[in-house]
Amino acid sequence: MKFKLPNLFLIVSFSLLTQVIAANVWLFPKDELLVKKIEYLSHLTLSSIDTTSYPISISNLEEDSHPEIFDLININFTYNNKFSIDYSNEINPFREIYDEGKDKKSVSVEKQFNFDKSYIPEFDAKINLTKNFSPSLQKKISLDGTYFSVVWPNIVLGVGFVERWWGPSHDNSLILSNYSYAQPGLYLKSLSPLKLNNFLSFIGKINYAFFFNRLENHRSIKNTNLIGTRITLQPTSNLTLGFSRVTMFGGKDRPDSFEDFLNNFFRLNRSKDGLDLSNELAGYDLKYNFKFRDLLFSSYFQLIGEDEIRFTPSTKIITVGNEIIYLQNGLLRSFGIEYSNTIGDFGDRYGVAYEHSTYNSGYRYKKLPLGAFIDNDSTFLKFTSNFELTEDVSANFSVFKGRLNKDKVGTNNIWGINNLEDYEGLKFKIFYSFKKNFSLENGILVLSDELFFNSQVLEKVTLNLKLNYNF
């Protein structure tokens, strides 16, 4: 009997329900505010975690001795099991790393499964089932966040629809973000950082991640493969260096053998019978933290090349930012500013980033960017602040300005050909938690004018309301 992949995930996940005994947690992009606080506390112990590669494993925190860190993790676990109702009058096109909603109207259920540590190897699973009710959406049923993994001894091998965010930015991760829907695939990553001894000890902690995903049927080349690799180095507790590479290859009527995969992965042969085997994005990022009195300062940048020359990125796009984090009476405060430019070589080359002559649906999935939400040929400047008002109430406020699809051409760009030269807006979001079981998210997005988004005209004001029941 032949099973479709989503059906297989459901069968496996529900069959494990009765065997769950213990608790373990992965921190996903939507947990960014929690990670900000963990990053601040762990910095006190000089054992800062890698916050540039989501999802983050709880095992990355085991060296931290600050007791509040594990209290935070336990609190977070309650939010990994929930039922949610989400409503918006418009699709929110301006999403940050911790925004979950991709849809107008939806209901979802999320359940984490974990196993007794006596199991060798260890197992971990999660199911996240979302039903979308908006007629304009690409996905009516979403399994984003659903996975099943095996851990042994320090390697995580899994299958599922995993949301990722690669890079230090909060708005526009240039190479891989959670802006689009998660794709089905296989993945392998380190559970906790590796450490080298002797003369290589200066490299510090090493984290790595690899995935092999499959893109959708409704694109110029059906069933294109998407391969990603990332390595991060932490020579000191202050510095994180990241190196990422994502490749599109294969698909219908394209070279798609195991040999082609090896040639692509190891760069042995980039063409076959006169055909360019792949569309590649690669680059590096840096994040540096330093503490002054009670303030944690973070400076970061990410540079990605649409292609390469002599193993260095070419046709470059960039994100830079700065952030201040501090705790006041145990409550988080943060202020940040971030700038992104997806015009090739900072304004000299239009229509190159996220596009390809062969894979001409571009670097997108279900018509949404796999990288920066502003898509190509755009600029974006944003100031944002986060406040925990009490243990149960937090708020986010941001103002932004930029240009979308500046050259006003290209059929793939999600923003279409807008009439606006410049756009600006503001966003406010507040989160309430009631008795640790119920929580409410309320948000408003105000734009200076109407925008075209994926061939839809969006209103100036977007209202969002989300109710969560945690179990």
pLDDT in tens, 407-456: 877 778 888 876 667 889 999 999 998 877 898 999 999 999 888 888 88
- What span, in angstroms and rounded, lies between the C-alpha atoms of 395 and 21? 34
Of 73 and 367, the one with more pLDDT: 367
More confidently predicted of 391 and 61: 391
148: nearest Cα among 119, 193, 192, 187: 187
Average pLDDT value for residue range 364-385: 94
Pairing of strands 271-272, 205-214: unpaired
| Domain count within the chain | 1
Q: Per-residue pLDDT for 275 more than 70?
A: no
pLDDT exceeds 80 at position 366: yes
Three-state SS sequence of the chain: CCCCHHHHHHHHHHHCHHHCCCCCCEECHHHHHHHHHHHHHHHCCCCCCCCCEECEEHHHHCCCCCHHHHHHHHHHHHCCCEEEEEEECCCCCCCCCCCCCCCCEEEEEEEEEECCCCCCCEEEEEEEEEEECCCCCCCCEECCCCEEEEECCCEEEEEECCCCEECCCCCCCCCECCCCCCCCEEEEEECCCEECCHHHHHHCEEEEEEEEEECCCCCCCCCCEEEEEEEEEECCCCEEEEEEEEEEECCCCCCCCHHHHHHHHCCCCCEECCEECEEEEEEEEEEEEEEECCEEEEEEEEEEEEEEECCEEEEEEEEEEEEEEEEECCEEEEEEEEEEECCECCCCECCCCCCCCCCCCCCEECCEECCCCCCCCCEEEEEEEEEECCCCEEEEEEEEEEECCCCCCCCCCCCCCCCCCCEEEEEEEEEEEECCCEEEEEEEEEECCCEEECCEEECCEEEEEEEEEEC
The beta-carbon contacts of 143-146 under 8 Å, at least 24 apart in sequence, are: 143/6, 143/9, 143/182, 143/184, 144/181, 144/182, 145/28, 145/110, 145/182, 146/9, 146/13
Q: For residues 247 and 258, is the Cβ–Cβ distance under 8 A? A: no
Alpha carbons 61 and 58: distance in angstroms, whole number:
6
First and final CA of the chain: distance in angstroms? 35
What would the mean pLDDT of 253-282 be, rounded to a whole number?
Answer: 71
The CATH number for 302's domain is: 2.40.160.130
What is the predicted pLDDT for the residue at 271?
Answer: 55
CB 74 within 8 A of CB 453: no
Mean pLDDT for 1-15 is 37
Which token pair is 145? 């966040």
Distance of alpha carbon 375 from alpha carbon 414, whole angstroms: 7
Give me the mean pLDDT over the 232-257 stretch. Answer: 90
Q: Who's near 85: CB < 8 A, 6+ residues apart?
A: 106, 107, 466, 467
* Owning domain of residue 66: 5-470
| Torsion, CA 268, CA 271, CA 276, CA 278, rounded to 10 | -20
The model's pLDDT over 95-110, given as tens digits with 9 standing for 90+, comes to: 888 887 778 899 999 8
Position with higher pLDDT, 29 vs 276: 29
**pTM confidence score:** 0.89
CA angle 261-265-269, nearest 5°?
80
Please determine, for residue 62, whether its predicted confidence score (pLDDT) is greater than 60: no
190-204, 239-253, 387-401: the lowest-pLDDT one: 190-204
* pLDDT over threshold 90, residue 75: no
Average pLDDT over residues 163-175: 95
With CA atoms as reference, report the closest residue to 270 among 307, 219, 228: 307
Contact of 58 with 80, CB cutoff 8 Å: no
Nearest to 285 by CA among 356, 225, 338: 338
Q: Which pLDDT score is estimated for 82?
A: 86
What residues does 425 pair with on adjacent strands? 400, 447
Q: Which amino acid is at 339?
A: Y
Q: What is the mean pLDDT of residues 13-26?
A: 39
Contacts of 8 (CB under 8 A, 6+ apart): none
* Vertex 188 angle, CA 185 and 193, to 5°: 150
pLDDT tens across 312-330, in order?
667 899 999 999 999 998 8
Q: Is the pLDDT of residue 173 over 50?
A: yes
The 10s digit of each residue's pLDDT in 382-403 is: 999 999 999 889 999 999 999 9
Neighbours of 45 (CB within 10 A): 13
Q: Is the pLDDT of residue 172 over 50?
A: yes
Res 273: pLDDT? 54
Higher pLDDT, 56 or 271: 56
In whole angstroms, give the CA distance from residue 273 to residue 271.
Answer: 7
Percent of the chain at pLDDT > 70 equals: 82
Place of tokens 């018509």: 367
β-pair type (147-151, 155-160): antiparallel
* Between 203 and 16, the higher pLDDT residue: 203
How large is the angle between the packed helices 32-43 and 67-78, nearest 10 degrees?
170
Q: Is the pLDDT score of 19 beyond 50? A: no
Predicted confidence at residue 258, as pLDDT, reads 77
Return the higher-pLDDT residue of 59 and 218. 218
pLDDT at 64 over 60: no
Q: What is the C-alpha to C-alpha distance for residues 359 and 361, in angstroms, rounded to an integer? A: 6
**Residue 269: per-residue pLDDT:** 53
